[in-house]
Structure 1
Amino acid sequence: MTADTGPDTRSLKPVSVDIAVVGAGPAGLFAAYYAGLRGLRVALLDSLPHPGGQVAALYPEKRIHDIAGLPAVHGRELIDNLLLQVAPFEPEWLLGHTAVSLNRSANGGGWVIGTDQGGDVRCGAVVVTGGVGSFTPRRLPAGDSYEGRGVTYHVARLADHRGQDVVVVGGGDSAVDWALALEPLARSVTLVHRTDRFRAQAHSVDLLRRSSVEVVTGAQVTACHGVERLSAVDVTVTGSEGSPERRDCQAMIAALGFTARLGPIGQWGMALVGNRILVGTDMQTDVPGVFAAGDIATYPGRVPLIAVGFGEAATAVNNAVARVRPDLGAVPGHSSDAVMPPAPQPVPALAAAS
């Protein structure tokens, strides 16, 4: 299994496990691994048809620099490694399933998650790792008519932009990272940002300033041109009375961020702060037996990093273990003492898709 593929798991049969992990992004995959490491059966649900969450869907080629022990790793590689890590424990995969409802089981000792495919997942505890929930890119009105014809909201494959004139719009981490990643491949890279203040990491902005990327601040892309595909854009300096500057451009990446919503999870009765689920130090919500980890969780002082999400996932799972299997407790032994099961054979559906 890789970040690009996933098993066909649209089964309507009920699934019974110890822990259900809702969200198959980085935090969810690590949570499933840790549950397996503690000897529990686990199910992974995600509305996307493939594992990896937002990283696999939007940033597979992005280099990630803030995970301990990995000086730099592409998003796709990170997800592939997480899949290799969880594979020996053979979780129940329910990809393409949106978790819709959460109800107490008939005996009151666990939970039943209903999905939009009609199947139920019965479990002793729930760990919600749904990232930012469902997400949609913030639109760039000037590029609407060229979406899919040169205008995109993320970079699926860096190599697709080799030899092109590329305009990146935005001032956050994604915009700066894409501009730097495209610099060695593209014929030219221009970054357009509406202010001179960047929201990206200071080190990344410093690299940007020292690169060959042309940085245009205090400006916006106000029009796109081309016949079949994008061939040029107009860049207008904010407040200027002069004519826009037309620039050759075969690709424009509008990295303006995303809007997110929790969807049905927001109706499960957990305390919320905005679009985030409030948790305690054990990563448990105010609904006993329901935990949250990763960017969908919040508490005072939380820092939204993948590295932080990994630690939260381990904390959530170990405390969930204590509820489902009190004899095991919340404190695991040394992982080096664990007896790892052999890696399973490839899933037929995956082998066919590879």
Structure 2
Amino acid sequence: MSNHTTGSPPAGPTAAEPLADGPIDAEPKPALGPLHDVAVIGAGPVGMFAAAYCAMRNLDTQLIESLPQLGGQVAALYPEKKIHDIAGFVSGTGGELVENLSRQLDLYGEHIEIHCNAAVRDLHRLPDGTFVLDTGASAFHTRAVLIAVGAGAFAPRALPIAYDHTLDGHGVFYFVKHLADFAGKTVAVAGGGDAALDWALELEPYAQQVFLVHRRDTFRALESSVERLRASSVEARTPYKFTSVTAAGAAAATATDFPADFKSEFTIGSETGSGTGSEPGTGGTGSGATLHLGLEHLKSKEPADLEVDALLVNYGFTSDNHVLRDWGLPVTRGDLIVDEHLQTSFEGIYGVGDAVTYPGKVKLISVGFGEVPRAVNHLAEALYPDRKQPLHD
């Protein structure tokens, strides 16, 4: 089994400044912890595979995650959502993917230390070229850094209308952890992208009735998903917009009912490590609450209201990887700039997965998996130039 902790190592020193203007020379203090070959920051699926691949190359590896558990967004938000676009992983769930990756980590546990609940705040380079990752109270010491933080801290895009946000988690949901919570319910799904269609189709076998509400006649999803939707019992309501969302019998909210800066808290990521109001709680879908959804046809302006037990909002997410900028790393539009070896402009600092950008980059888990060997083989050769790089599996 891998060495899995839920805290940080004993407190150690950090350099005086981040990497903002280039490598910083600072004297390490005696209490600095043991040196490792690689520190992987972020334990989503790509970060988990990165740690395993580092261990395959016999690199002494630390896997550092800000959340209490491994798996990142996949584990925190949609463990029961099926994933169809990873080679050889046939319609498995997010939870199953994380479980498989965990078993893979265990195969190489002698080379991996896992640290959860450890949010890296600062990244420093010491005079000898090694790095210190500061969590605030303690530090990690490493020869190379592999960043796999995904989109960073993220939050779902809310419904673009005023509504009572006490309904969040009690009728209005922004992600689903357990499909069975919606068994026998009437559910409306808002959105027209891949996630919205996927959730509508996943809920179909559980819910009594599923509606898909989208403001356009066409969907922004894979052609195969659109075909499955048309062949399903999901009832599409297009092109409609929401005018109100209320508890049954309650008056519709107006924009003046809430402060202009009102924001329901859903943020999950490197800073918060948790999410609220976005999964079935004690009220949940089983509380007996019914929602009234006010809808309006975009062309005819005719109303077509719905009475449902739950509304699942899928308008995508906003993300913020400001921590990369705070570390002084090269960033454009929130993404880490890397070269053909997935290395940043700082020697020894690499990035993989949704955190990075380069010409032709596609943000998929499967692409991140493919980036891992490129990055790890390059950094392994830099750390141990006398070792031969593997030519094939």
Tell me the TM-score normalized by structure 1.
0.87
Q: Which amino acid aligns with 1:248?
A: E
Count of aligned positions: 327
Per-residue deviation at 1:32? 0.1
Q: Which runs of 5+ in 1 are unaligned?
A: 336-354
8 Å contact from structure 1 (residues 99, 265) kept in 2:
no
Q: Which amino acid aligns with 1:174?
A: A
1:214 aligns with 2:274: no
Q: Which amino acid aligns with 1:233?
A: L
1:19 aligns with 2:78: no
Q: Distance in 2 between matches of 1:222 and 1:51?
A: 39
Q: Distance in 2 between matches of 1:98 and 1:143?
A: 33
Per-residue deviation at 1:208? 0.6
Question: What are the equivalent positions in structure 2 for 1:160-239 lying under 5 Å apart?
Answer: 160-226=181-247, 229-239=289-299
SS, match of residue 284 in structure 1:
coil
Q: Which amino acid aligns with 1:114?
A: D
Question: What are the equivalent positions in structure 2 for 1:79-158 lying under 5 Å apart?
Answer: 79-90=98-109, 91-107=112-128, 109-116=129-136, 118-140=137-159, 141=161, 142=163, 144-158=165-179
CA offsets 1:287-322 (integer angstroms, 9 cap, x no match): 111000001111111121111100101211111111
Cα separation, partners in 2 of 1:239 and 1:143, compared to 1, 3 Å: farther
SS, match of residue 31 in structure 1:
helix
Question: What are the equivalent positions in structure 2 for 1:30-109 lying under 5 Å apart?
Answer: 30-90=49-109, 91-107=112-128, 109=129
Q: Which is worse superposed, 189-198 or 219-228? A: 219-228
- The aligned counterpart of 1:339 is none
Q: Distance in 2 between matches of 1:266 and 1:96?
A: 21
8 Å contact from structure 1 (residues 15, 122) kept in 2:
yes
8 Å contact from structure 1 (residues 152, 253) kept in 2:
yes
Per-residue deviation at 1:11? 4.2
8 Å contact from structure 2 (residues 290, 307) kept in 1:
no
8 Å contact from structure 1 (residues 21, 126) kept in 2:
yes
CA offsets 1:32-85 (integer angstroms, 9 cap, x no match): 000111111111112211110111111211111111112221000000000100
8 Å contact from structure 1 (residues 105, 122) kept in 2:
no
Equivalent of 1:296 in 344, 351, 355:
355
SS, match of residue 36 in structure 1:
helix
Equivalent of 1:283 in 342, 346, 354:
342
Cα separation, partners in 2 of 1:267 and 1:179, compared to 1, 3 Å: same
Q: Which runs of 5+ in 2 are unaligned?
A: 12-32, 249-286
SS, match of residue 18 in structure 1:
strand
Q: Which amino acid aligns with 2:235?
A: E
Tell me the TM-score normalized by structure 2.
0.79
Per-residue deviation at 1:197? 2.7
Q: Distance in 2 between matches of 1:19 and 1:190?
A: 48
- The aligned counterpart of 2:252 is none
Equivalent of 1:316 in 350, 361, 375:
375
Per-residue deviation at 1:143? 6.1
1:9 aligns with 2:31: no
Q: Which amino acid aligns with 1:181?
A: E
RMSD of the TM alignment (CA)?
1.8
Q: Distance in 2 between matches of 1:97 and 1:167?
A: 37
Per-residue deviation at 1:334? 4.8
Q: Distance in 2 between matches of 1:15 and 1:79?
A: 29
SS, match of residue 86 in structure 1:
helix
Indicate the percent of aligned positions where both proteins have the same amino acid: 40
